Amino acid sequence: MLKIRFVSAFIMIPIVIVATILGDLPFLVFALAGLLLSGWEYFAMARHAGHHPQPIVGLALITLMLLDAHFRWNLLREIVIGGGVVTMTLALFRRAEGWIVGWALTLVGALYLGGTGAYAVLLRASPNNGFWWTATLFLTNWASDAAAYFAGTRLGKHRFFPDVSPKKTREGAIGSWIASTIVGGLCALVFGLPILHGIVAGLGIGVAGAFGDLAESLVKRQFGAKDSGNLIPGHGGMLDRIDSFLFAAVFMYLYLVWFVRV
């Protein structure tokens, strides 16, 4: 399993690096691809659990949220409200049992993926070292995930939110936070960014990523799914791969806006 995880990472990491370097439309397309695949997995899990979401509407909303972030339309409220009206109107024609749950799952799924993923687009587009802060986000998040895996499998004894994700341990979480803090500081040092901000951002990325991972575990548990899919060998689905990144991207962008004054 570990070998398969390394092979998958070896294939995916260059794609992420190239998209981040290019920025602009290539990064938008890269983000859209990952989030739409994740959205498809989310709605598939919901349908498998017996619910009736509207995946086409949900995927359209995810797309619009990312386009809104990239082109700075500032129409997020209109997109969300419009999506809610369209989804409920379509439910009138389908009249599926439990339609209101499907309506809610459609909107929540779009916000969960499109709303959080939009922050990665905003971060990369930042005129103040957007590339370097995005690179810091990816590198720190990867280090955090890797440290959580190794610390958890080798040192883990005490469960961390066992009702949500039985395999997660406190030792794994602490290991990931230590690694993310160190890597965040190193990235700042190498990239010429404020070192103190790099250290604090690194810790925040680790903590936010851990809860992003747990949030996706909670979603899967509600849907009765072990993995979101089987797209990526050794990792599961695309959503399994980016779950921690979603919350970390939100933290990273807001931290820069509020404290680094991007």
Cross-strand bridge partners of residue 169: 159
Cross-strand bridge partners of residue 236: 232
The C-alpha atoms of residue 22 and residue 30 are separated, in whole angstroms, by: 10
CA quadruple 145, 178, 205, 130: dihedral, nearest 10: -100
pLDDT digits (tens, 9 = 90+) for 16-27: 999 999 999 999
Q: Both tokens of residue 183?
A: 């890597």
Type of residue numbered 234: G
Over residues 127-153, mean pLDDT: 93
Region of 168 (left: φ > 0; alpha: ψ -120 to 50; beta: rest) is beta
The C-alpha atoms of residue 73 and residue 164 are separated, in whole angstroms, by: 37
Cβ neighbours of residue 163 under 8 Å, at least 6 residues apart?
none
Over residues 132-161, mean pLDDT: 92
Q: Both tokens of residue 178?
A: 């230590």
Does the structure show a pLDDT above 70 at 165? yes
| Confidence bin at 1 (pLDDT 50/70/90) | low
| Backbone dihedral angles phi then psi of residue 193, each to the nearest 5 degrees | -100, 165
| Confidence bin at 93 (pLDDT 50/70/90) | confident
Say if CB 151 and CB 176 are below 8 A apart: yes
Dmax over CA atoms of the chain, in Å, equals 58
Cross-strand bridge partners of residue 159: 169
pLDDT digits (tens, 9 = 90+) for 218-250: 999 999 998 888 887 766 899 999 999 999 999
Q: Both tokens of residue 26?
A: 């290539």
pLDDT digits (tens, 9 = 90+) for 97-131: 788 999 999 999 999 999 999 999 999 999 889 99
Say if CB 194 and CB 261 are below 8 A apart: no
pLDDT digits (tens, 9 = 90+) for 35-89: 999 999 999 999 999 999 999 999 999 999 999 999 999 999 999 999 999 998 9
Predicted TM-score (pTM) of the model is 0.94
